[in-house]
Amino acid sequence: MTPAPRSHMLPLLPLDEALERLLAFVGTPLDSEPVRVGDADGRVLAQDVVSALQVPPQDNSAMDGYALRCAEALTPGTELPVSQRIAAGTSGTVLEPGSAARIFTGAPIPPGADAVVMQEDCTALEGGSADDSARARVRINTIPKPGQNIRRAGEDVAHGAVVLTKGVRLGPAALGLAASIGMDRLHVARRPRVALFSTGDELVMPGTVDPAHMPPGVIYNSNRFVLNALLRRMGCVVSDLGTVPDQRAATVLALQEAAHAHDVILTSGGVSVGEEDHVKPAVQTLGTLDLWHVAIKPGKPFAHGRINQAHFMGLPGNPVASLVTFLVLVRPFLLRLQGVPQVSVRPVVARANFTWAKADKRREFLRVRHNPDGGLDLFPNQGSGVLTSVAWGDGLVDNPPGRTIAPGDPVHFISFAELLA
């Protein structure tokens, strides 16, 4: 006889549907603030950046060499007097007919010149001092073509062009681009303020108890460090509230404190329905709660709610489950909260060098790493508490429900480098 389902057991929600629901809770992204370009790395742009100039501002040389008229160097070995010397940061004069200009990388092309021949294809004459334009001559050993080694005005950035689009997460190249058009400040989304705490009487902090004297049933709190680092990589300002004991009153008090002046409350542990899981009823006492069982492995239990203006997000307590759930649900939420429109990761197709014989009804995230042959190796223990698997791996295989994997099969690989960028 099949036992009746327990009333607290909820249907498993597909990950894509859970993420869609979660992102719908974001509403209006955080307000913006101006910051100096040098301080904007990792921040999310809140306004388009439009160029008030063109880059380069004028035609300039891509090489050290000689600027000339191609029509005056139609055969290899043509000799020309050097009529002027143009360095970067200076400006030349109209190129005299029948002459060449000694020119350096980044220097403006003199009017009349239509090509630059790099110095390796030239021979300096008249004593070998090609920089002495009063007496120098140069032999052009190749036949130049119009436009060669000339960087055209505006070829990088046109005047009035949108060079950076609202919602982009800024990196070193973007900051350099902003600086190249004269920007000293950028309007970016305010950093999310996140309150973080763990629950569990079994948790102690490293340094408080020597490993040799750990009491039975006690473990070090690794989630506190993992989640703190993940949040900071997402651009958050973190208030670390430590570990909360498994007591209803203490959990309510911690949530009340966390809801003050924070955009998000993030917890690990205590979101299930056991007698010692106090987070769910505590959130419901103070605000609203949606509790989902997401069809992923590891990381089934997940909670979202509101306490005053703060979003509440509850993760499972097992270390790998907590980390994976953060990456696939919390990470995109935090990016969207900062105004990033495209928050999904881009998996790439890779070759499995392992066997995964037991298909699961849930969508699985397997810890793997690349091997020297370009394939993926699987960490042998895929348990939700085995944090070693994540430290060892360089990414996850996103394995659909009901699928087995044989050596040589194509799989979808998601790099930790992208997830943690």
The DSSP line for 265-322 is EEEES--SSSTT--HHHHHHHHSEEEEEEESEES--EEEEEEETTEEEEEE-SSHHHH
Q: Mean pLDDT lowest for which of 119-133, 148-162, 228-242?
A: 119-133
Q: Does residue 248 register a pLDDT over 70?
A: yes
**pLDDT class for 132, splitting at 50, 70, 90?**
low
Residues of the chain with pLDDT > 70, as a percent, come to 94
Question: What is the per-residue pLDDT for 318?
Answer: 92
Question: What is the per-residue pLDDT for 177?
Answer: 96
Q: Mean pLDDT lowest for which of 129-133, 151-155, 356-360, 398-402?
A: 129-133
Give 60-151's CATH code, choosing from 3.30.70.260, 2.40.420.20, 2.170.190.11, 2.40.50.100.
2.170.190.11
Q: One-letter amino acid identity for 281?
A: P
Provide mean pLDDT across the span 112-141: 83
Provide mean pLDDT across the span 18-24: 96
Q: Mean pLDDT lowest for which of 16-20, 211-215, 359-363, 366-370?
A: 211-215
Please, how many CA atoms are within 13 Å of residue 214, restricted to the half-sphere of its CB? 14
**pLDDT class for 9, splitting at 50, 70, 90?**
low
CATH superfamily of 348-419: MoeA, C-terminal, domain IV (2.40.340.10)
Question: What is the per-residue pLDDT for 244?
Answer: 87
Longest dimension (CA), the chain: 106
Do 34-55+155-189 and 348-419 share a fold?
no
Q: Which residues of 35-66 are buried (b: 16+ CB within 10 A; e: fewer)?
A: bebeebeebbbbeebebeebbbeebbbebbbb
Domain formed by 12-31+191-337, architecture: 3-Layer(aba) Sandwich (3.40)
Q: Mean pLDDT lowest for which of 37-46, 111-120, 217-226, 410-419?
A: 217-226
Question: What is the per-residue pLDDT for 10?
Answer: 64
CATH topology of domain 34-55+155-189: Molybdopterin biosynthesis moea protein, domain 2 (3.90.105)
Q: Does residue 252 register a pLDDT over 60?
A: yes
| Cβ neighbourhood burial of 255 (10 Å; 0-12, 13-18, 19+) | buried
pLDDT, mean over the chain: 92
**pLDDT class for 203, splitting at 50, 70, 90?**
confident
**Which helix H or strand E contains 80, and what residues bound it?**
strand 78-86
Question: What is the per-residue pLDDT for 5?
Answer: 43
Question: What is the per-residue pLDDT for 271?
Answer: 65
Question: What is the per-residue pLDDT for 134?
Answer: 56
Spell out the domain ranges in the chain: 12-31+191-337, 34-55+155-189, 60-151, 348-419
